[in-house]
Structure 1
């Protein structure tokens, strides 16, 4: 049985005061972690505050939005996976469509980062997407699974069991237009089938697949009702604590 997973992605938003207010508001309001696992993916400047909070609240996990594929060295401006693991970060988001688009991250680079995250005892959230143009040309399925295959090259079956896959169609991110439940299930099913082809059914049954793209408290229930969807990755709707609380409770 896969535990549902809700990961709020703050992106490059909020101030230190707003982070404090957010954490104060959600205290005692998130679901039992045995029933629903919750995490926040924050900018690196907030990870110290977030990990300190999580040490005293089992209802929330800390996630980084990115990291480099080397533990240390002359890489000015990059985030060390070894350092954030030492801080208490549990998850690292990799290959988000915004990273691919604006910072030209390749599948090969993301594969290196996946291995670095795993070697430091954290869990990668590997994001993959499709464009509206690809969907219109009926080639979206290849577009969705290819980044998954490339990101997992050289990753053992034992490590693959731990990973989270984030399906985020780029045309739905920040647009207010979410994919339908049927569209989401179609893509997530194919991702699971791809993992089964790579590692076998035992691994594919354990891997959690989450959806991101204009998720909110109104559509989360429908999205979570799909059999191959194990969670959601809300962006804008995770910035307000009241909205995030509703999403973690599937809209209630």
Structure 2
């Protein structure tokens, strides 16, 4: 079983490499993102151990480019970074597992073996609902032929709703899955971002796909035309004046 490890901490990389070799793996090591991407693109591996904070090209960009090229080798992300990105970002870009430093070597080996057992089947990337589509790898959102630019948080919210399309999801579920555990604000932030999304994915196109289910949450469904506004009935005509004799 052949493993590629992309890790710039040379002492850690050498320690893990020697341990994996003792477990029967063949291990190649790259110390920057560009070299790692080149190795992963040119050679066949059973799994890739990919650090987040890499010189020349960070781990997220390496992963994004691998998936863009259609390389579906299982990827286990290794990182000690918190805050700017979280596990959801890694999975959205196509990671298969995630391990935070410092980690147990026995756990690492178990995770690698599990990834290899699952293999790397081709998987659909673009999610489509009606005329709305979202590509988690390129982070491209489109309504028909029109591109829709979204912020990172808007994209995360839309991606979660797309995965749960036609279901009613509560504010609490959205906070748990789109915002990180350190978020201390109120759940009104969900309502604010739902409004942002509506103004970008629905309003400009004259459709209604993101609706509020009162008292329960929100639902993303296929395109619907907005309900027509009923014009008020005309006022009754005043009675005609009687003619004078």
TM over 0.5: no
Which structure has more relative contact order (CA 8 Å, sep 6+)? It is 1
TM-score if structure 1 supplies the norm length?
0.27
TM-score if structure 2 supplies the norm length?
0.28
More helix as a share of residues: 1
More strand as a share of residues: 2
Larger radius of gyration: 2
